[in-house]
Amino acid sequence: MVTHVVMWTVREDGFSGKQEAAKALKSRLETMYGAVPHFISLEVGLNAIDGAAACDVVLITRHSDMEQLERYRIDPVHKEVASWVGEHTSFRAVVDFES
């Protein structure tokens, strides 16, 4: 199994604050559930405790193998969502690991 973890810091531009921006990002990421067939599970979480090193949103997807992760990455729906997310975030960190 491959786990794909992505964390972002949101930009507040166009939103009434960080919380609204984070909720919009979460909602957009969740549109991939059922629309992108290349993962076993998808979970999106919002940060609960602010801190200097904290991100605002986390995405965790699980894939059967690296091939399915790569198919996920190039899926047109994923690419469209990723583009939108990129426009509304200022920082992104990614970790992919096998278990």
Range of the domain at 32: 2-98
Query: In this structure, are residues 38 and 75 in contact, taking their beta carbons and an 8 Å threshold?
Result: yes
Percent of the chain with pLDDT strictly greater than 90: 97
Q: What's at 72, amino acid-wise?
A: Y
Average pLDDT over residues 24-50: 97
pTM of the model: 0.95
The CATH number linked to 80 is: 3.30.70.100
| Axis crossing angle, helix 76-87 with helix 66-74, rounded to the nearest 10 | 70
For 84, the enclosing helix (H) or strand (E) is: helix 76-87
Q: Is the pLDDT at 14 greater than 90, yes or no?
A: no
Domain count, the chain: 1
Nearest-angstrom CA–CA distance, 87 and 73: 17
Q: Is the pLDDT at 83 greater than 90, yes or no?
A: yes
Query: In this structure, are residues 63 and 40 in contact, taking their beta carbons and an 8 Å threshold?
Result: yes
Place of tokens 């979460």: 26
